[in-house]
Every structure is written in C-alpha cells, then in structure tokens.
Structure 1
Amino acid sequence: MSHGVTERIEEQREFFAGQAVDAEALGRLPAETTERVKATGVIRLLQPPEHGGYAADPTDFMEAVMALANADAAVGWVAGVIGVHPWEMAFNDARVLEEVWGQDADTWVASPYAPNGVASPADGGFIFNGNWEFSSGTDSCDWIVLGGLVKGEGLVDGIPQMYHFLLPRSDYEIVEDSWNVLGLRGTGSKDIIVSDAFVPDYRVLNATKVFDGTAALEAGRDEALYRMPWSAIFPVALSAAVVGICEGALACHFQHQATRTSMLGPMSKNPYLSSRVGEAASEIHASRSQLLYNLSNMYALAQKGTEIPLEMRVASRRDQVRAARRAVEALDDIYIRSGGGATRDEHPLAKWFRDAHTAMNHTIFAADDMYHAYAAMMMGQAPTGFTRLLV
C-alpha cells in the first residue's frame, strides 16, 4: 500500500493501546490521540485526492480500522465512523469541499445520519432544527452531517425523503455528559442539538441519491471507490471495528491466560479451555476474511466499471451483520473461559467485552431484517422500503 497508513498505525500501536483507560475516563478521545490518528492518515483513505486524500482501495480502509480497533476499541470505532464521511463528502458541491478541507485536509466531519432534524425552506437554503444521539468522536470534529426531513414534503415510494445537512461547529451544540454508557466510553458519542441554524442549499445532499449512487454520478466522480454502493462502505466500517475489537479481546485473553493458574495448575495447559479458544479464534478470523472477501469482489467490479448486482449487495449486508455477530459470539466463548478475575472493572478483558457488546447495539447490526431480505430475494421477492434503500 503506497499510502503507508497501516504501517503508521503499527508504529503507534503501543500508544493507542496505552491511552485506552484515559479515553474511557475522559469519555472521549484525548486531544493527543486525535492528533496521532490524524497523523496515520486513516481518515483520508476514502477522501478525494484533490483535497489531500488517497481515494484508496476500501479494503485498505477496513484493515486500518481493524488494526486500530484491536489496539483500542474506541479509537477503532471513531476511525470507522469518521473515516467513512470523506467518501460521502466527495459528492458535495465544490464550495463545501473547499470550506471543509481548503485549509486543512485533516479536518474531521461527524454525524449521525438519523433523520431527526426538520428543515423549513428559506431563501437560499433551510432553517434547521433537531436533536440527535450518538455522534461518535464529535468533540474531535469541526463539521457535522446530520440527517433530516424537509417540512411539507411527502413520501417517496412509501418512505420519507431524507436529506443530509452539513453544518460547521459554530452552528450546533454538543451536549456534555450525554454519553454515560456500558462500553465504548472513549468514543464520546454525545448528543447534538441544532436550533434555528441556516443551512445553505449547497450544503445539503439528497440521502436517497447518496444511497443509490446517483449523487456520485451527479458529482462527476468516476473513481472506482466512489462507484461503490453506500452499503459497501458505511456498514462495513462498523463491522470492521467490531471484528478488530474481538481480535483485541482474543490477544488480551492469550496474554492473561498464559500466566493464569488455579488449583488444577496452569490454565495454559488445560486442553478443554484452549481448544474452545482456538475455535473462537478461527471464528474471528473467518469474520475478518468474509468482510474483506466480499468487499474485494465488489471493488473489482467497480474498477471494471461494472454495476454491482443487487444480489451481491444484499448478500454483503447479510455477511456484514453475521461477521460482527459471529466475532462477538466467539468473544463470549473466550470471556467465559477467562476466569473470575476477568469480570473486574479494572481487568482489560472486561473492557473489551463491554465495548464489543455496546457496539452491537448499533442499528446497522439488526440481523433479522437483513437475513430475511436475503432469503426473500432468493425466492424472488426483491427488498422494499428502507431495506431496499440501504442496500
């Protein structure tokens, strides 16, 4: 990889692992951590090259997210969330790209996309209001993309027409002390409030066009990366973070188990414990391989200029969900074989366990809908509504 991002992450690995406790206590990434993540270049992997990005193979990005997550869950999760935003930013008006990156290519953009905002049309734009939860890494960001609806608009194909509104840091409030949670505490995924902010037309994207690829075409982006479907970028990044977290938990278990003893002797010599952990390690590796295999196949089609079939996109979403769930199920098997000491708050394995299970509460991992969508499609029933929009 010519960009060298993974190598720079490995050089900083000890630092990222060492700051995990401080980030958890602070409830956000410390400023030094943010700067060191920026220095790796991971957030610029999906960024357009004319604004300091690499427009890289998306598998490079996912592997970088996993590498960060298996050092510290919060760092990996924030990188996964923040790092996908430059991909969508590439579809914006040239004025937006200059405003965000003109002075600093390492400027970060937060989210969430949940359509909680209401926009009232005004001369040249919209007056925007709303409340959002779960803005991961938001303290480290200078801009934010927020989902919303336009007041007075009806349904399109039975669902509300959603939009993404881009606001500078001066136009929204981060609600302090709004991220008191079981795990991923260091992500600082705080609440956001917007009150009567004016958003000009050129800072608004039609979310449906982002999801279905029209936004990339209208923006004139012909790079293979930007021909990838949204469902092959954003959800995969979160699955990659979860897999990385589980890899970190596995490494932590081996370190802990190597010196753990009981009245029966060294735990490292117990074949019943070790055999199940060996199986769990294979399950985590299978999750990694499945994510990268599917993504690589889709990217190969995008490089050829071939449209990625709906069947492939739905199967990929199915596997994104299953890969994350499989990895966390494997972590559970590891955790219950790590002894009572691993249940203490101060034990590092307890943190990995909490972080992984908190991550799985993200709506992107809702399994039944994706499993049903795939099975139904194989029986001739194409996905509809929100499910169709998000694949």
Structure 2
Amino acid sequence: MDNLKIQEFGEIDFSDPFFDTLKNDYSHGFINWWLKKVQLQDKAFVLYNDNFSTIDGFMYLKLENNIDDINPPLMDGCYLKVGTFKFNPAGTLRGERFIKKIFDVAIVNNVMGIYVTIFDKHDYLINLFKRYGFHSAGVKKSDNGSENVLLKKRQFTGNLEKDYPYINTNNNKYLLAIYPKFHTQLFPDSILITESSSIIHDVSHTNSIHKVYISKIQTLGNLKKGDIVVIYRTADEGKKAYFSSVATSICVIEEVRQMSTFSNKKEYVEYCTKYSVFTSEELNKLYDENHYKTSFPCYVIKFTYNIALSHRPNRKALINEVGLDSEIRWGCLKLTDKQFDKILKLGEVNESFIIN
C-alpha cells in the first residue's frame, strides 16, 4: 500500500511526536489552527512509515487570493500556499515526491504561482524549493517570528530543474518502452488501476523527480538534453499489447550516457543508485557485461518525471488515433509534433504544463 495518503485533519494523530517541532515553531496559534481545520474537515497529505505506525511527513496545501499577510503582498490572482510542510529525511528523496505533489495540485488549479513561508533554520527545505525554481520574494512576520517567502511562477528559464514540471515542446519527442516490472516503481503516480499499490515503497527511485533507466535500445543514443519522452508501459505477460500496453507519463531528458563513458564501476553505481529501480547486484552485473562495449553500447539515461497522464491511451489508440506504425518496434520511437500533441490530447494533459 502506498504510504502517502490524503486524510482529513480529524483522522490524523495530532499527538504523534512528529508534530512536536511544528508545535514549537508555531507556538502561537498552531494548536487552535489545527482544531479549526478539524472542524472544517480540511485535508492534508500524510506520509507514514512502512508499517503505518508513525508519521514521517505532512503537507497542507491551500488556495488563496489577495495575500496581504506577507511583504510584499500577492494581489494578482489565485496562488497555491504550501501552508504547513515537514518531513523526516530518510535518504529516500521524500522531499522530491512532496514537491511533485505540490506542482500537480498547482497545475490542476491553474494558479498564478506557488508560495511557501519557511524559517531560516530550515535550510534544507529552502534549498529544496530553490532547486525547483522557487526564489526569495519577501518575508512574513507574525508572533512566531520572521519567515522567508519563497515563490514560483509559471515561466521558462532553460534550466530543467528550475523549470520543472513545465515542458518546452520545441525539442524532439520520443516514445520509450519500459517493462511493467520497472514501470510503477519508477512512476508511482502513473500506476494502473489493475496494479496493486503495495509495490510502491518509500525508496529513492519511487520518490524522486529524477529517474535513471538502463537499456540496450540503440536509438537511445539519439536523445539529447531537453528532449521529451512519452513513457510506454509494455503489456503484462499473457496479455495482448493491443489493449494493455499504454502511454502513461511525460518525461524530459537530462542526460544520456553510454555505459563505457563511466571511468569505473564505482562512478557508475553512484550515478545510478538513487534514481534507478535496479538493485546493486543488477547494476554490477549490467556494468560487468556491458561497460566495455562501444559498438553495441548499453545506455544510461537520466530524466525528470513531469506528468502522469490522466487518461492512458493504449496501443490500439496509439496506432489508430495517433498514427504510430504498428509494423515497427516501439523501443525508442521518434514522434512527430502532431503525434505528440495527439498523445497529450488523448492523455488529457492540462495545458498549463506546456510552454511552447
């Protein structure tokens, strides 16, 4: 079972020691604020540990207009406020998974921007938000002290991390096939309704915005930084691809490397471990078997997980409606702009994700 839940405040154990630091940071009013949220039946994201016995993360999001309790105020439309946010770091990139949820909610609500207030002492959180395009935009003063206001608006800078999750469609587009056994662990928000969420664990490759995949598909060598990749989940064993293979996600390439370009196994393993579904044993085996090959190389690709398609067009739709050639192998298939746009339409992708 996925341990990241959306729950009403009244369903959350407020006595969990996880909340002690928040009670201390916001000693003026936090308890009353919580009780009010319980009465309103408001909801928040809650991350539990693997056996669901304690809380490891909490995030409350709120839509706001005419925000005048910060300086300077935000008066030009609707913003998403990251109202309360904390997680216990565990070396599993939990922060990135929360960041992706923030962007998902912002896109759905078509907001002007996102803002969060953070005390100076929480430098890890400040750095996390700034990594994904937030910048210092003011201060908020209250009885609890002075907090930094970090703000992100929809814009394109050319920096893949700071622009995340927005996609620049001026680059090349491809369809990339990934086997089911790897797919859902890499793309937890793209899980199929026929899959069990018990295969999603609190591990780095599941939580992360960044992903690493390794393949011998030779056309991967054509991919460049900034290229867009439509993830194509191949059919489960025993099922017909025509109906069960589906496009699930949109990603953006950060880097493509031949395995032979790593100076040694240690460098390669360190590069892959956090973001790859492969075990250490599998990574070592892949390296031993392929690192010396230059004529038929093995590729290591790193990319960002930007969009989970709301509707997943299957192979039938990709052939009949998108116009993909059923007679060729769809390992890493280049798409035309028209084909990509049709996949976005079939996938019901919010236009706010797209920057032309």
Quick check: TM above 0.5? Answer: no
**Which of the five TM-score ranges fits, normalised by the shorter chain?**
under 0.3
Provide TM-score, normalisation by structure 2: 0.25
Provide TM-score, normalisation by structure 1: 0.23
- Say which structure is richer in strand: 2
- Say which structure is richer in helix: 1
